[in-house]
């Protein structure tokens, strides 16, 4: 199969409004997770929230780059998506062969809190069409809304569409918000931590939700003026249909996803330099991942979860975590798994505890979500 190349990318998180800001904060070991004021009727929540007033100021400044023929008002989610997209599409030649892929789990669901609005305000197709129209995309956009694997599956989908000659390039954008609706769901599962999350740690108590947006360009052509080229070497998505919310006790779906991704890339487990795993810091998710990584002979590989830096960003998670891992590849830096102190899974993992500088060529990114969804992608770097 032909290589599919990763081009410019960008992200916005509780740590900053640009890729550079978020990357610098992560390298410095900062966390954007804090104790929040009550969100609706939910008190004492640790989450990574992007301040609305700060976003409004940033968005207003960025909006000068868009020449609107019709005055629009935008939701917070739309402002995040647009702001993340702008640096990617500013100089992009959007043609009839350029696809737009939107990744989100809940989209504008917060708009349903307004009793004066109907359900159409939260329509995912309407959101996608709005973003596509704003930037002048000529094709019908694609929405990926498949629980917590959405962001990673969006990359997988773009890669497959390009290899099938359905399109020549694609732009992916992802965003999700921390709303009372989403919080109440995770709270009902007793999945929220009463402090900053600690993936894979013995004392982990659950996850923290986070707000973020990310955007990435992907193409069948190498990216011009980019000495380091990144490409998708292999990917797979397997649904083990284990349970509507609980992960498999055997890690079967994740195991199969990893094995198929490595097989497509023609890479043996020992050739993987590091793993950026899902690592939500819930008891069952982290345990399932440990089992799957042992079954795929990857348990001795350096592994991290980035959730301790900016929380679980839902439909953005797979995309923003891939982007920051690509920066790890670019800069030859292994990032520690923030919050980890003591082994907390029944099978040991080589969790990264400090920043390490070493030559890196490839990494595996994994994600798992509700209803048994699992995705794995192997990214590689080549110097030209």
pLDDT digits (tens, 9 = 90+) for 279-322: 999 999 999 999 999 999 999 999 999 999 999 999 999 999 99
Q: For position 122, what pLDDT does the model report?
A: 85
The pTM is what? Answer: 0.97
- pLDDT for 14 equals 99
Cβ-contact 183, 170 below 8 angstroms: no
Which residue matches tokens 């982007």? 323
Spell out the residues 6+ positions from residue 372 whose beta carbon is closer than 8 angstroms to its own.
239, 240, 241, 242, 243, 247, 248, 253
The secondary structure of residue 246, as a DSSP letter, is S
pLDDT at residue 245, rounded to an integer? 77
Distance CA 52, CA 54 (A): 6
Q: What number of other Cβ atoms are within 10 A of residue 269's Cβ?
A: 16
Half-sphere exposure of 74 (CA within 13 A, CB side): 20
Provide the CA 76 distance to its chain's centre, in angstroms. Answer: 18
Q: What is the CA radius of gyration of the chain?
A: 19
Residues of the chain with pLDDT under 50: none
Summarised one tens digit per residue, pLDDT across range 217-265 is 999 999 998 999 999 999 999 999 888 878 889 999 999 999 999 999 9
Domains within the chain, CATH numbers bracketed: 4-219 (3.40.47.10), 231-383 (3.40.47.10)
Question: What are φ and ψ of residue 327, in 5° steps?
Answer: -65, -35
Joined tokens for residue 61: 């400044």
* Alpha-carbon separation of residue 336 from 18, 135, 304, 324, 363 (angstroms): 21, 37, 6, 12, 15
Question: Tokens representing 53?
Answer: 């007033």
DSSP β-bridge partners for residue 202: none
Taking the C-alpha atoms of residue 367 and residue 228, their distance in angstroms, rounded to an integer, is 25
Q: Which two tokens stand for residue 42?
A: 């939910």
- Contact (Cβ atoms closer than 8 angstroms) between residue 355 and residue 335: yes
Predicted pLDDT of residue 38 = 94
């Amino acid at each position: 199969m032909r290589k599919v190349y990763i081009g410019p990318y960008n992200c916005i998180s509780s740590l900053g409004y640009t890729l550079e800001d978020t990357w610098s904060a992560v390298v410095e070991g900062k966390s954007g997770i804090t104790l929040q004021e009550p969100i609706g009727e939910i008190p004492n929540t640790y989450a990574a929230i992007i301040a609305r007033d700060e976003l409004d100021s940033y968005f207003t400044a960025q909006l000068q780059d868009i020449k609107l023929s019709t005055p629009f008002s935008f939701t917070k989610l739309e402002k995040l998506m647009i702001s993340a997209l702008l640096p990617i599409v500013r100089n992009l030649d959007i043609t009839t062969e350029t696809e737009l892929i939107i990744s989100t789990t809940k989209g504008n669901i917060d708009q349903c809190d307004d009793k004066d609005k109907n359900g159409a305000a939260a329509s995912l197709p309407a959101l996608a069409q709005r973003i596509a129209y704003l930037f002048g995309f000529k094709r019908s956009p694609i929405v990926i809304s498949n629980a917590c694997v959405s962001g990673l599956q969006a990359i997988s989908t773009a890669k497959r569409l390009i290899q099938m000659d359905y399109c020549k390039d694609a732009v992916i954008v992802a965003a999700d918000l921390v709303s009372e609706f989403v919080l109440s769901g995770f709270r009902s599962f007793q999945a929220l931590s009463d402090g900053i999350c600690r993936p894979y740690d013995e004392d982990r108590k659950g996850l923290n939700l986070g707000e973020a947006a990310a955007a990435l360009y992907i193409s069948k052509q190498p990216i011009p003026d980019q000495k380091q080229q990144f490409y998708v070497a292999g990917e797979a998505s397997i649904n083990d249909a284990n349970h509507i919310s609980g992960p498999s006790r055997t890690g079967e779906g994740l195991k199969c996803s990893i094995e198929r991704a490595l097989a497509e890339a023609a890479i043996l487990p020992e050739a993987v330099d590091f793993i950026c795993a899902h690592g939500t810091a819930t008891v069952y998710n982290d345990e399932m991942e440990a089992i799957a990584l042992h079954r795929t002979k990857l348990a001795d590989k350096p592994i991290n979860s980035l959730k301790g830096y900016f929380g679980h960003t839902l439909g953005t998670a797979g995309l923003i975590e891939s982007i920051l891992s690509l920066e790890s590849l670019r800069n030859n830096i292994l990032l520690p798994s923030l919050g980890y102190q003591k082994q907390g899974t029944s099978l040991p993992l080589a969790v990264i505890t400090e920043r390490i500088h070493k030559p890196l060529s490839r990494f595996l990114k994994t994600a798992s979500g509700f209803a048994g969804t699992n995705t794995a992608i192997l990214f590689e770097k080549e110097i030209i």
